[in-house]
Structure 1
Amino acid sequence: MSVEEDEWARERSWFGADGTRPAEAGPLARQFAELTRTLLDATPTVGGVLKLVVGAAVESIPDADLVSITLRDPDGRFHTPVETDPIALTLDELQYRHGEGPCVESACPDGPAIGWSQDVGRDPRWPSFGPGTAAHGFHSVLATALIPDARPPRLSGALNIYSRKPGAFDGAAIDAALLLATHASLALAHSEAVAAAELEATHLRQAVESRDVIGQAKGILMQRRGITADEAFDVLRKASQDLNVKLADLARTLATRHTELDLPVPEH
């Protein structure tokens, strides 16, 4: 096995560069418990969650000079919705452009849970991203996977942390990043579920409102013309087709302006 393959194998199994496992998480537990409460109490929007996570990463991980989030679109493209500094977006896009780096690897559903380098400019795995990042003055990088949706197409992402300091990220930093990524994934899943529920409720409310206004319009026609409910609905349906107007919109107009409007009697 080559040096590059050996390094890659260690990374995929969550070992550090020296072959040892990261240290166990320690005194950060209270801080992450507080973050959990903050995330759950916050307005459940995706943007709000991501801002909380990148802020917590800066506060809890020593030498975290830049933090960003990568999300993967359904078509496989990557984008950075949140970052602590525009240079983080520049470094992320360097990875997107060349298709290499810990960020894009961790953001893929089948990629490693963790990707990092203590001297990215000399890392043989990323011949374009590594030197480019070092040229901007950043020498350590750490990325942990985000899995905000376990259902197909399993949209995914990564929490990305950059440091100007070589050898910046030790086992404690990796543990902290993993905990943050877990919190972010759960919070994102929660916020997306809430958004989906709100959207479903909106659609249901719109359906009920449409049904009610159609009923009002039918009642107006029944009273005005002395026809049955089915006949009134036929009048609405035919007028909707002839005028190329949605049935609910037509019914709403008739219900609110029934003293001004009438509909043509459909031909039989």
Structure 2
Amino acid sequence: MLGMPLTAGMDDAEVSAGMLAVQFAGLTRALVAAGSVAEVLRRVVAAAKEVIPAADVVSVTLRGPDGSFHTPVETDPVAVQLDELQYALGEGPCVDAADPEGPAYTLSDHMADEPRWPRFGRAAAERGYGSMFAVALLTDNRPVSGALNVYSGGRGTLTPTDIDTGLLLATHASLALAHTQAVEFAELRVAQLTRAIETRDVIGQAKGILMQRRGIDADEAYEVLRRTSQQLNVKLFEIAEALAHRGGELQ
């Protein structure tokens, strides 16, 4: 019948699957047109944030030939902080999944009392993230390995369907990484370090403004930025940048 929506007569699961298929078709076209590995990875994390309902922040971990870790792309600087905390502690879902000998994926829906990663789990929960999964990026015995990381603010919010979606997205990222040479890996790391320095500088400026105007300490200032970011569904870096550049005050 003319005028009838395409989804008429379909249940919620069928509608969701259809929408996901459209998303992946578009992502595949975009990845084919991508000009670099970094661009592919950026598209993958953006897609994960869009198609996984419970995803609050998403990132990619890369593990270099020397065993060192870094985060070349993310949807929010908070993801870099959470990733780097795992790197520093030597424990966490992304550290395990990025290990070439590690599992295909790792999942925790109760970070606060996660026995496998007790230090990171408590720290993540304290920062407002109760669930996480990391999917391994398979690079066909290349020296570079990695993981696609999805963080959620709730407990028990990540579903088997979300894992399946993550596995499909990780396949796209893995195909891009399969052709990554050592030089390009080094370039990704330099770019990430530069961005991290710029991000920390902007967030530091914003925290300083809040500390001065509100008479609070650094931890309280960061919590204001984090809470405002979640309430407005805007990246923490963008909140900090607006405050640092305009000198305004968050309510």
Task: Bin the TM-score by the shorter chain.
Answer: 0.5 to 0.7
Match of 2:86 in 1: 95
**SS at 2:178's partner residue?**
helix
Q: Which has the larger radius of gyration?
A: 1
TM-score (norm 1): 0.59
Q: Which of 34, 38, 46 is 1:42 aligned to?
A: 34
In the TM superposition, what is the alpha-carbon distance from 1:86 to its structure 2 partner? 1.3
AA paired with 2:50? E
Match of 2:112 in 1: 121
TM-score (norm 2): 0.63
In the TM superposition, what is the alpha-carbon distance from 1:163 to its structure 2 partner? 0.7
Distance 2:137 2:125 in 1: 25
Match of 1:173 in 2: 162
**8 Å contact 2:92–2:117 — kept in the other structure?**
yes
Distance 1:49 1:132 in 2: 30
Distance 1:183 1:26 in 2: 19
Distance 1:79 1:119, change over 3 A: same
Q: Which of 104, 121, 127 is 1:130 aligned to?
A: 121
Distance 1:126 1:136 in 2: 15
AA paired with 1:138? Y
**SS at 1:96's partner residue?**
helix
In the TM superposition, what is the alpha-carbon distance from 1:114 to its structure 2 partner? 0.8
Q: What are the ranges of 5 or more consecutive residues in structure 1 without an aligned counterpart?
A: 1-24, 197-268
Distance 2:123 2:92 in 1: 11
CA deviations on 1:103-137 (whole Å, 9 max, x unpaired) are 00000001011101111111111111000000000
Aligned residue pairs total 167
Q: Which of 137, 140, 146 is 1:150 aligned to?
A: 140
In the TM superposition, what is the alpha-carbon distance from 1:165 to its structure 2 partner? 1.0
**SS at 2:164's partner residue?**
helix
Match of 1:75 in 2: 66
**SS at 1:179's partner residue?**
helix
Determine whether 1:52 maps to 2:57.
no
Distance 2:26 2:171 in 1: 14
AA paired with 1:178? L
In the TM superposition, what is the alpha-carbon distance from 1:180 to its structure 2 partner? 0.4
**8 Å contact 2:61–2:72 — kept in the other structure?**
yes
Q: What are the ranges of 5 or more consecutive residues in structure 2 without an aligned counterpart?
A: 1-15, 185-251
**8 Å contact 2:142–2:178 — kept in the other structure?**
no
**SS at 1:109's partner residue?**
coil
- Bigger drift between 180-189 and 125-134 goes to 180-189
In the TM superposition, what is the alpha-carbon distance from 1:29 to its structure 2 partner? 2.8
Identity across aligned pairs (percent)? 56
Distance 2:30 2:75 in 1: 19
- Bigger drift between 34-43 and 64-73 goes to 34-43
Distance 2:55 2:123 in 1: 19
Determine whether 1:159 maps to 2:156.
no
Match of 2:98 in 1: 107
AA paired with 2:166? A
